[in-house]
C-alpha cells in the first residue's frame, strides 16, 4: 500500500469503562498514558445507573487537565439472552437447558430447520438445533446473563433503537456524550433513525459511529458511509457472520472502502485480549494493532481489556505505544 494514502495524524485511542477501571487514579493513569476517551456499553447499564462511574471519569479528566471523549454503545438491534440467576456451565455434547432468549430469537429458532446454529457470547459457545427442536451444545463453556446471541444465516427483525436507547439519547447532552455507536447497522435507515433521535434530543452535533458487524452491514457499506461520521469494524460479531479465517480479508476490504470514500474507521475487538489476564500482550496482538494503523484506521478501541481485565493501565500503555510506533513508521 502507498503510505501517502494514509493520514499521519494521531489516532484516537479508546478504552471501555467497567469495574476494572472504576477508580479515579486508574482512570487518570489511563488518560495520562494517551487515551483519548472511553466507551460505555449500554447493553448492560444506563447513563443514569452509570452516573457515579461517569463522575469518576470526569474527575480523572479534570485532574489531568483534559476533557476526554465519552462514546456510548447503544443496545440497538443486537440480540442478547436475558438475565441468569447464576453462571451456567454448558457441557459439549449435552442438550442445552431452556435459556431466556428474546421473543424474536425464540420465534426465529422455532421456524428454523434442524441444523441451524446459534452462537452465544461473541461465538464462544455454539448450539445447534436438532430435529426434536432442542438445542445441542457443540462448543461448550460458561454462560452468564446478557450475552450476545447470533443466528447465522437468519434475519431476526428488531428495531434500530430500543425504548431504553431513546431514553439514554434524551440525556446524552447531560452526561457529556460525544459520540454514539450504533450496533448491527443493517442499512442507512438505521443511521437515519439514530440521527433523528439525536436531533429530537437537541444533540445533532454528536458524532455517529456505525458498527459493521453482520453481513447486512457489509453489503450496505457503500450506503452507510455517507450517513455516519465513522465506520466501526466490530470484529466480534462480524467474526460470527463469516468463517473466522475470512475475517482478516473482510476487515481489509472494509478498510479499503473507507479509505476510498475518505471516511474514518475504527478497529475494535480482542486487540489485546490476552491482557485481560496477563500483564504483557502477545506479539501477534501488537502486530494486529500496528497493522490496523497501517491500514488507515482513525481510531482503535479495547473493550473487556479495560472494562473487566486485570491490567487496564498497562493495556492502554501498550496500545498507545504500539499505535505511536506505527505512526512513526508511516512518516
Per-residue CA distances from 13 to 10, 22, 230, 236 (Å) = 9, 18, 14, 18
Q: Is 211 a catalytic residue?
A: yes
- 118 by DSSP, 3-state: which? strand
Distance CA 272, CA 251 (A): 17
Annotated active-site residue in 39, 186, 195, 259: 39
Annotated active-site residue in 211, 235, 259, 263: 211
Annotated active-site residue in 12, 16, 58, 80: 80
Q: Is 144 a catalytic residue?
A: no
Annotated active-site residue in 195, 263, 269, 303: 269
**What cell numbers appear for 259 in the block?**
479509505
Of 146, 126, 144, nearest to 136 by C-alpha is 126
CB environment 271-296: b (16+ within 10 A), e (fewer):
bbbebbeeeebeeebbebbbbbbbbb
Distance of CA 19 to the CA centre of its chain: 17
Distance CA 291, CA 285 (A): 10
Q: Is 39 a catalytic residue?
A: yes
- 213 by DSSP, 3-state: which? coil
CB environment 174-201: b (16+ within 10 A), e (fewer):
ebebbbbbbbbbbebebbebbbebbeeb
Of 247, 268, 233, nearest to 14 by C-alpha is 268
CB atoms inside a 10 Å sphere around CB 247: 17
Which are the catalytic amino acids?
39, 80, 211, 269
Amino acid at each position: 500500500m502507498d503510505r501517502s494514502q494514509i493520514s499521519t495524524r494521531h489516532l484516537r485511542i479508546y478504552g471501555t469503562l467497567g469495574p476494572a477501571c472504576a477508580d479515579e487514579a486508574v482512570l487518570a493513569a489511563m488518560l495520562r498514558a494517551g487515551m483519548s476517551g472511553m466507551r460505555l456499553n449500554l447493553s448492560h447499564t444506563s447513563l443514569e445507573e452509570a452516573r457515579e462511574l461517569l463522575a469518576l471519569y470526569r474527575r480523572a479528566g479534570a485532574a489531568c487537565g483534559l476533557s476526554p471523549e465519552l462514546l456510548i454503545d447503544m443496545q440497538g438491534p443486537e440480540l442478547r439472552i436475558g438475565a441468569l440467576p447464576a453462571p451456567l456451565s454448558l457441557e459439549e455434547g449435552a442438550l442445552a437447558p431452556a435459556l431466556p432468549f428474546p421473543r424474536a430469537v425464540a420465534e426465529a429458532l422455532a421456524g428454523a430447520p434442524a441444523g441451524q446454529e446459534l452462537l452465544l457470547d461473541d461465538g464462544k459457545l455454539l448450539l445447534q438445533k436438532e430435529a426434536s427442536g432442542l438445542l445441542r451444545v457443540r462448543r461448550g463453556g460458561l454462560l452468564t446473563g446478557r450475552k450476545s446471541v447470533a443466528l447465522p444465516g437468519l434475519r431476526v427483525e428488531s428495531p434500530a433503537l430500543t425504548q431504553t436507547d431513546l431514553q439514554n439519547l434524551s440525556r446524552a447532552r447531560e452526561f457529556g456524550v460525544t459520540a454514539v455507536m450504533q450496533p448491527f447497522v443493517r442499512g442507512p435507515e438505521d443511521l437515519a433513525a439514530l440521527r433523528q433521535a439525536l436531533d429530537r434530543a437537541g444533540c445533532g452535533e454528536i458524532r455517529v459511529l456505525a458498527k459493521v458487524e453482520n453481513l447486512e452491514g457489509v453489503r450496505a457499506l457503500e450506503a452507510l458511509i455517507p450517513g455516519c461520521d465513522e465506520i466501526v469494524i466490530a470484529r466480534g460479531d462480524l467474526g460470527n457472520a463469516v468463517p473466522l479465517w475470512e475475517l482478516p480479508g473482510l476487515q481489509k476490504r472494509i478498510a479499503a472502502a473507507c479509505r476510498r470514500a475518505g471516511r474514518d474507521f475504527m478497529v475494535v475487538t480482542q486487540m489485546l485480549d490476552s491482557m485481560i489476564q496477563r500483564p504483557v500482550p502477545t506479539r501477534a496482538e501488537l502486530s494486529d494493532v500496528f497493522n490496523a494503523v497501517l491500514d488507515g484506521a482513525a481510531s482503535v478501541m479495547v473493550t473487556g481489556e479495560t472494562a473487566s481485565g486485570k491490567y487496564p493501565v498497562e493495556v492502554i500503555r501498550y496500545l498507545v505505544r504500539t499505535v505511536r510506533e506505527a505512526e512513526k513508521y508511516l512518516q
